[in-house]
Every structure is written in structure tokens, then in C-alpha cells.
Amino acid sequence: MNIELGLMLTGMLAIGFFAQWLAWRVKLPAILFLLLAGILLGPVGQVFDPDKLLGPLLMPMVSLSVALILFEGSLTLRFHELSGISHVVRGLVSYGAIVALLLLAAAAHYLAGMAWDLALLFGALTCVTGPTVIVPMLRTLRPNERIANTLRWEGIAIDPLGALFAVLIYEAIVSHHQGHAIGVFVSTVLTGALCGGVAALILALLLRRQWIPEYLQNFGVLALVLLAFTFANQLAHDSGLLAVTIMGIALGNMRDVHIDDILDFKEHLTILLVSMLFILLAARLHWPLPPGVLWAGIAIFLVAQFVIRPISVIISSFGSSLNWRERALISWVAPRGIVAASVSALFALRLANLGIHGSEVLVPLVFILIIGTVVFQSATARPLARWLKVAEPDPHGVLIYGSDAVARAIGKVLKDAGFHILLADDDWDGIRRARMDGFHTFYGNPVSAHADRHLSVIGIGQMLGLSTHRERNSLACLHYQQEFGREKVYRLRNLSPQEASQRKEFNDRLLVPALFEEGMTHARFADLLIRGWRIKATGLSATFDWPHFIEQYGSTSLLMFGVDEKGALRVAAERRELEPRPGWTVIVLVPPENPAAP
């Protein structure tokens, strides 16, 4: 039995990785492939029976995983960011979400016959989108900036708020069915909130005073989150989920508490937990479904897609500057994700153990809605955006990884040439200077899970790796090759020709073209700028063509970029020489008029 369990868990891990990788390749939400994998392993293939295989370990395993998922999601809710987002987003995550919750509950009650208490729980679970499903869809959808920002911020903000709604409604259901008075429900909520708040304060104190060494911080946070979850449950049954949700929200909004590394660790851990958990939960489905559940689920999906979401968006966007085309696309896109799947499955398990009638249809209805929204909207949103004329044209922006003097100088000349420039780096001093120069910036590692949530590449089609961190530069280039294509990603060398020859095999594997002429490195480029060389943009014509430019500024001038007649950016790179033509604008590093002696 131990061997069988070990093999099955190992197989789930491998299948989860493959599902995540496939989602990355095709730019679709990973939850779709994870759920389909679980359905194939469980009800279809009859290969995996989680209840039989895990036995009494099933409930603790699911409970602890969901607790960590909710904590990680709630860490990302920053209240100060809500004041800076648009009126539409605030509406969608407040009264718009409440309208959607009530309408989804009504649909579950009248179409699936669910009791009102369970229907309200269904509504709370399924009114939530989330960045893990929105961001991959936006990358293929490519709507205009206002639509993209609205959908992205809605997912970020409503993810933890929806979880909080669902937990509170679940606590009310349990308290009601167990015959408890309202005081017990209030006591449970207060216990969860108090445990979560105290745990957040303790953790903040430990981090501020640096009483936990850096290499143990992630371990300590993990232990304290699970301790808060189990301790709250011991004090008041089922208050643990509320405790970790409050703990995450409180910790994420405390000042002078550095949680970026913790958030990165939790995001990586969540990927692992989600990959295992969703296969496990989908494998627990029984086929055939209870009578009428499949058709009820399809009916709820159709009502949610064509009635409930448009009503919520209309109410939330009333009085905004969005035009009807933008509202129509926002009304079309609302895929459900991690919170709906994971929390619904856990609640269904607990409600079934309490003998609450109707809880067995909660998970199938939620999964049908998830799969329906992800598949249908992924297939139809891009054509609809084009028909509505709210899709972005060919991306015209450039993502630059780096923020030092070289990156800022190259970014400035491209910005002056009319390109949208986004500088990304985890060097705060460089990012601060870039912001003072008027650049759009992203502070953080551009290949982190945090960047997947918060780094918007809408309107961006090329990437220049200009960071002095050689390994990170290479990883960023490889990452964004999948995003933009092999012909749209370039790097500035960080190695001298001698060092590069020693690492030729590694560089050949990268398959990322090096910028500019052979031998041009980041250090050499920076040295030329210090010695007075300047980056110049000049328009070419029939009377002043490229040979005339070289004659005027000298043969040592370094051709960097060209902007053709259509406004497209052409990049000078190794083995990809540019031949500037009349009508182009050339961007060239030219020597000083009175060059100093080397």
C-alpha cells in the first residue's frame, strides 16, 4: 500500500507539472488542464480513487492545502492599491460582486434545486475570478489597456475578498445546521479574526526585529500559518480558514514588513499545492453525475455568461468613461479559478461529513462553471475583441530588463521615438531614477510569479535584456521568447569576447541574439557613454542616406536600431545586420565631436 501510495503521489506530481507546462505553452489557465487530468484519472479512467488511497489523510491534506492557498491569495490584497484603481474595478469587487453572488445563488436555487443556504455559498464561490485565470487569457486576448487593467485588477482584488465572503457564508451554514444560536456564529467569526490578527502581529514582530534569520523566514511563516489554522480550529470549529485569510490580509497591509521573498515562496508553494490538489479533487468526482446536475450546470453557465456577468458589469460601470464596446468585452470575460475550485471542494467534504443534504452537487456545479467559462471565453474572446474593435493592434512597446544608466539611456531614445517603454528591475535605486525620468516601471524580478500577476505586457511586443545580472538576464530572455517570439527578444552581452568563447556552448544553447556589433558588452557600452558618446536618432532621406550619415559621424558609429516607414522597430544584432533605407529613422551611438584620447 505504501508503494502504491508513493507511486500515485509521484505520478500526480509529474502529471501536475505537465499540465502546468502545457498551460504555459498554449497560454491558457492551468486549472483547465489540471481539472481535465483529474477527471481522466478518476471518473473516466478509474485509475485513481483519492478516498480509498488516502483514507483519513484526505481531509487534513485538502484542509491544509486550501489554508495555504487562501493565505497566499490574501497576501496580495493591498488596501492602498484599491484607492488607485478605477471606479469600475471598485464596483466590480464590491456591489457588483454582491449582485453577482445573489444572482448566481438564485440560478443555483431555481435551476439546480439547491437549498438557499447552499445556493448562497455557491454564489460566493463562483462570483470570483482571479489573476491565475485572467492573466493567461489576457495574453492571448490582448484587449486595449483600459479593458486589460480593469480585468486584471478585478481578479487581483476580488480573489481574497471572494474567499472571505465564502468562508463567512460557510460558517453561517454550519452554525445554522448544527442548531447553534447566532452567538456561536459570531463567536466563530471573532475567534478566526482574532487568531489571524494575533498571528499576523506576531509574525510582523519577528520579521521587523529580525529574530528569524533570512534563510528560515519562509519555513517560519509556513509553520506559523498552519499553526494559526489548527489553533483557531481547536478554539472554534471551522474558524481556521477565516484565521489564515485575515492573517494574510493583515500581514499584506502592514508597513515596514518585507514580504516580497515570502510572497515568492508562497506563490511557488501554491503552484505545487494547486497542481496536486486539483487533480485530487477532480478525481473524486463520480460519473455519471447525480441526475440533472450536468444539464443544470450547463444552464447555470449559460445564465452566468449571458445574463449575470453583463448585469454586474452594467451596474458596476454606470457613470464610467468606458464605452459600450469596452463594457461588452468586460461582460464577456469572467473565468472562474482557484478559489472557486479549491474552497468548494473542501466545503463539500465538510458539509457531507455533517450530513447536509445537497452538498454533493456543489463541486460538480462549480467545476462545470469553471471549465465552461475558461474554454468558452478562451475560444471566443479574441474574435469578439476584434469584432468590437477593442483589441490592441500589433504590439508597439518594448520591455527592458534593467534600470541602470545604459538601460535608461536606451529606453529614453526609444521612448522619444514613440515606443511605449516599460523598465523592469529589482534594483530599487535604478527603478527610482527611471520613475523620475518619466518611465513606466515594474519593481521586481520580471520572471517571478509576482510578475505574472502584476507585470502587464499589454501592448508590448519586444524585450531587451540589459541587466548586469548575467544569469537573470538569460532567464528573462528565455522566458519572454515564449511570450513574444524568438525574433523579438535580444540581450546585451555581459561577457568579454574571451569569456564568451569559453562559454560558447552555453551561449549557443540560449539562442538569444546578442545586441549590436560583435564584442559590444554592457561594460563597454557604459564606458562609451561615460566618455561622451551619445545616442542619436536621425531621419534618413534620399538626400541624406546611411552612407552620408557615416560620412558625417564617422565609421566608428554604432548602429543600434532602425524605425522603418511603418513605425516598426528593427534591431541591430549579431548575424542580423540592418541596412537602413531612406524614410527610416536610425538610432545610433555616435562618438563625441572631440573624442578624448583612450
pLDDT tens for the chain, residues 1 to 598: 444 777 877 888 888 899 888 887 777 788 888 888 888 888 888 887 887 877 788 788 888 888 888 787 777 666 665 555 667 888 888 888 899 999 999 999 999 989 898 899 899 888 888 777 787 788 777 787 788 878 887 887 787 777 777 888 887 887 777 666 576 667 777 888 899 889 989 988 888 888 888 778 888 888 898 899 899 888 877 788 788 888 888 887 787 777 666 766 666 777 888 888 888 888 887 777 778 889 999 999 999 999 999 999 999 888 888 889 989 999 999 888 777 777 887 788 778 777 788 788 888 898 899 888 988 988 898 889 889 988 876 677 889 998 888 899 999 989 988 888 899 988 888 888 989 888 888 888 888 767 776 777 777 888 998 888 888 888 888 888 877 877 888 888 876 555 555 455 444 445 678 888 877 888 888 888 888 898 888 888 888 888 888 888 888 888 888 888 888 888 888 767 778 888 888 899 888 874 443 3
**Using an 8 Å Cβ cutoff, are 77 and 153 in contact?**
no
Residue 598: predicted pLDDT: 34
**Residue 532 CA neighbour count, 13 Å, CB half:** 8
- Cell numbers describing residue 574: 549579431
Secondary structure (DSSP) of 382-396: HHHHHHHT-B--S--
**Residue 575 CA neighbour count, 13 Å, CB half:** 6
Residue 99: predicted pLDDT: 92
**Residue whose cell numbers read 534594483:** 427
Residue 103: predicted pLDDT: 95
- What is the CATH number assigned to the segment(s) 60-388? 1.20.1530.20
- Give the DSSP H/E element, type plus range, for residue 425: strand 421-425
Q: What is the pTM of this model?
A: 0.72
Collapsing DSSP to helix, strand or coil, 66 comes out as helix
Count H helices, E strands: the chain?
Answer: 27, 9
Within the chain, all domains assigned CATH 1.20.1530.20 are found at 60-388
